[in-house]
Amino acid sequence: MSHNEASRNRWLIALSAVSIHLSIGSIYAYSIYQIPLNESQGWSETSVTLAFSIAVFVLGITAAFLGRYVERHGPRRAGLAAAVLFGLGMVGAGASVQAGSLPLFLATYGVLGGMGIGLGYISPIGTLLEWFPDRRGMATGLAVMGFGAGALLTGPLGNYLIQRFGVATAFYALGGLYFVLMTGGASYLAKPPSGWLPAGMQDEEDAHEKARSALPGIRNLTAREARTSPRFWMVWLIVFINVSAGIMLLAFASPMLQQIGGASATTAAFITGYIGIFNGGGRIAWSSLSDYVGRTTTYGGFMLIQIVAFLVMPQLAGVWLLASVIFLVITCYGGGFACLPAYLSDLFGTKEVSAIHGYALTAWGVAGVAGPQLAAFIRQSTGGYTSALYVMNAALVAGLVTVLVLRWRLGKLRETDAAAGAGAPTTD
């Protein structure tokens, strides 16, 4: 470890992570390309949406399988590789538009871009957990807040570039900008020196062990061991349900506001634009709170809030009342992502948390298909969203039960460890 790396500022490390996530979070603004691509290329809405679906699917697969790459080669190299992949995906998308080739667009934005997003998402997370052992939730929440807020940067800037210079040039310019932001962020990333601790932890007993360990009484696991443990699959199910609920509203917020709340198309679009603020803000707010109340309690709170929200939404007549409930659910959606890395480090330790986080993010990929598809199927079958909201409500009840079972299981593991006295912490 060089002196240069040893003397890095951990808040600048966090800012570096934000710059990476802000860039790849531009995928949340993908809708700005829909009409321009349809008008300039003649590609159907379904074809244009396919590139987005491919990108989301590929990012989930990439996060799952390249977590070990991050562990092996470190955050800087992984972040630089993500910058190259995502930059090439965006520039390639511009070239595809100029060439009028839909297959090339699907391959560049969808596959290359998706790989860049997946690798960029996980590359700084494990490092942040090591730099902030005292505030795990807040640190990772800050990074993924950037991902949730990515649309706030790309939406207006992308629209301006498309209207002024055309959609191909917009892809080129944005690709160049993201490459610079991601390269700058990745270049500063580095693991803390061996034995490093923040000032507030240096006088604590067993501080070094606490900094890297799971919760007291719970054994640290490797990524391979974590994958086969019941607690991992309970967390996976909790994340799947939480993401399914939020992504259903992300996909159908505008038509729901019109059908249930009676909003005009213009008002619905205006309200939908605010979702990015609550998505991003919920990530930092909930993850910071989780450092004080605990991650299991926080996920239980997500489930309780959304059980009530999905139960009352079909009865809400006022547009802004309905919008407020949607905003609250979206904070839980963003908060679920933000609390996840810290929760995994609580349950498995930080040694291989990047790889474990990658495996857990497959829940996002599956939910990204399941939530919207369920809502669309029920909407077509019944002509409304009420049944879809009640079905999701039942899923959230199952999610709350899973949280309670996980809490009970963690308590049993700690009791077993306490009974064992000086023996090694137990596993499940």
pLDDT of residue 1: 46
Per-residue pLDDT, averaged over 377-401, amounts to: 88
pTM for this prediction: 0.83
pLDDT band at 423 (very low <50, low <70, confident <90, very high): very low
When the pLDDT of each residue in the chain is averaged and rounded to a whole number, the result is 87
Per-residue pLDDT, averaged over 327-332, amounts to: 94
Per-residue pLDDT, averaged over 165-189, amounts to: 96
The pLDDT tens digits of the residues spanning 7-44 come to 689 999 999 999 999 999 998 888 888 888 988 999 98
More confident: 110 or 2: 110
Distance (Å) of CA 316 to CA 118, 198, 216, 237, 303: 37, 48, 44, 29, 20
pLDDT of residue 213: 63
pLDDT of residue 3: 45
Helix (H, G, I), strand (E, B), or coil: what is residue 218?
Answer: strand
b or e along 187-212 (b: 16 or more beta carbons within 10 Å of the residue's beta carbon)? ebbbbbeeebbeeeeeeeeeeeebbe
Total length of the chain: 428
The pLDDT tens digits of the residues spanning 65-94 come to 898 899 899 999 999 999 999 999 999 999
pLDDT of residue 422: 43
Percentage of the chain exceeding pLDDT 70: 92
The pLDDT tens digits of the residues spanning 271-310 come to 777 887 898 889 999 999 999 999 999 999 999 999 999 9
More confident: 414 or 235: 235
pLDDT of residue 154: 87
pLDDT of residue 248: 83
Which position has the token pair 């998308």? 93
pLDDT of residue 261: 81
Helix (H, G, I), strand (E, B), or coil: what is residue 189?
Answer: coil
More confident: 399 or 27: 399
For residue 428, pLDDT beyond 80: no
Percentage of the chain exceeding pLDDT 90: 47
Q: What is the DSSP string of 347-397?
A: HH-STTHHHHHHHHTHHHHHHHHHHHHHHHHHHHHHSSSHHHHHHHHHHHH
Are the C-beta atoms of 79 and 120 separated by less than 8 Å? yes
More confident: 49 or 421: 49
For residue 417, pLDDT beyond 80: no
Measure the CA dihedral 363/178/192/138, to 10°: -50
The answer to whether the Cα torsion of 182, 14, 251, 377 is positive or negative is: positive
pLDDT of residue 374: 79
For 364, residues 6+ apart whose C-beta sits below 8 A from its C-beta are 60, 239, 243, 337
**C-alpha–C-alpha distance, residues 339 and 283, integer Å:** 8
More confident: 267 or 359: 359
pLDDT of residue 206: 60
pLDDT band at 60 (very low <50, low <70, confident <90, very high): confident
For residue 226, pLDDT beyond 60: yes
Measure the CA dihedral 176/181/182/187, to 10°: 120
For residue 357, pLDDT beyond 70: yes
**C-alpha–C-alpha distance, residues 403 and 170, integer Å:** 44
pLDDT of residue 421: 55
**C-alpha–C-alpha distance, residues 249 and 333, integer Å:** 10
b or e along 368-387 (b: 16 or more beta carbons within 10 Å of the residue's beta carbon)? bebbbebbeebbeeeeebbe
Q: Which of 222, 325, 315 is nearest to 278 (CA)?
A: 325
Range of lowest pLDDT (142-146, 176-180, 308-312, 343-347): 142-146
**C-alpha–C-alpha distance, residues 7 and 90, integer Å:** 35
For 168, residues 6+ apart whose C-beta sits below 8 A from its C-beta are 94, 95, 97, 98
Per-residue pLDDT, averaged over 198-211, amounts to: 63
